[in-house]
Amino acid sequence: MLFVSAVLALFLSSCQSNTSKDAAKGSTSGLEEKVGQMLLLGFRGMAVDENSPIVQHIKAGRVGSVILFDYDVVNGEAVRNIESPEQVKALVDSLQAHAPSPLFVGIDQEGGKVLRLKPQYGFPQIPSAQYLGDLNNLDSTRYYAGLNARTMAGLGINLNFAPVVDLDLEKETGVIGRLERSFSEDPELITLHARAVIDAHLENGVIPVLKHFPGHGSARDDSHQGMTDVTDTWSDDELEPYRRILGQGYKGAIMTAHVFNRRLDEAYPATLSPRTISILRDEMGYEGVIFSDDMQMKAIASEYGLEDAIIRCINAGVDVLCFGNNLSYDEQIPEKFQAIVLKAVEDGRIKPARIEEAYTRVMRLKGQLTEEGSN
């Protein structure tokens, strides 16, 4: 981690200088590299080498972040990226060694039923948010959050899509409630336990990602499977954990939900909605990185074409678009993503300033790894 931190420090210094010069000139030089930092990609392989597609994408600067899974949904088998602690560490080290700038290496390691680093692979058991919320003992939450964060940090995983701060409002049928992913239906209790998880992550050099903005806990449908409308079930209380956590000086990232809420935007789901994301940016004053949920989930993929979804997502204010490459698999996503974004900039459908803004946020967040890695 010290090597990665040193490299990142030098790289960030150079990037900040170049970005300032480009902005002053109104230039799009280096645009490909900046667009690459806006893509998070899933891939296949327990190990990689020079010939691996993911390595080729990383070396070409088309991918700035990756995500690890233990199960390949398309193939229907537990053969993807995770087999043992030693194997995962070697995989992550190899990915970073091929990267022109350090990667975000992400994972969905919430605990309970959403756990990629499972005991069967040699990792510790981490209980669900629901279990910890029902127990309501902050010392227990701190203990397991610390154990989880140290495990990830020891592997080189530096980004976790957790904690979930959705309210537990649809306990039986919702994708949050029935999988025990929420601490509680009480925003105050969620805030307390999420804060413990956030602190443990940051103390161990892992960036936490709050999800799913502006609230997925009242959804009765699963956005993995199709359009999810929460217009009649969502309430403003679902924003409260974000208000409280951001008010405490939050230093992590946030992920959007693919939920459709006519009360916030009559036309688009949150991930593609400038109106919804403006709640974070303008009303709550959040200046950090916003990740999309998986763009291959059917709530997006079945309703919008790839080009339309990407352009709308970026213009809505999302900084990093996630393609888990696990609900469907396409090794050409990085080329397609870059071609779509560059053409949209050329045509005036995406402003260069929007790319600069996202790139600056991503590199600033990566800069936190330098600070934490040197401690």
CATH topology (fold) of 2-373:
TIM Barrel (3.20.20)
Q: So what's the pLDDT on residue 61?
A: 96
Segment 139-195, tens digit of pLDDT:
999 999 999 999 999 999 999 999 999 999 988 778 899 999 999 999 999 999 999
Q: Are 282 and 245 in contact (CB under 8 A)?
A: no
C-alpha span between 373 and 375 (Å, rounded): 6
C-alpha span between 47 and 92 (Å, rounded): 9
Segment 25-51, tens digit of pLDDT:
334 449 999 999 999 999 999 999 999
Residue 224 known to be catalytic: yes
Segment 272-310, tens digit of pLDDT:
999 999 999 999 999 999 999 999 987 688 788 899 999
Active-site residue among 98, 186, 199, 224? 224
- At 372, is the pLDDT very low, low, confident or very high (cuts 50, 70, 90)? low
Q: Which DSSP string corresponds to 205-256?
A: T-EEEEEEET--TT-SS-TTTS-EE-TTT--GGGGHHHHHHHHT---SEEEE
- At 353, is the pLDDT very low, low, confident or very high (cuts 50, 70, 90)? very high
Residue 216 known to be catalytic: no
Segment 202-254, tens digit of pLDDT:
999 999 999 999 999 988 754 454 467 899 999 999 999 999 999 999 999 99
Active-site residue among 293, 308, 330, 347? 293
Per-domain residue ranges for the chain? Answer: 2-373
Q: So what's the pLDDT on residue 116?
A: 98
Of 3 and 318, the one with more pLDDT:
318
Segment 172-181, tens digit of pLDDT:
778 899 999 9
Q: Are 121 and 83 in contact (CB under 8 A)?
A: yes
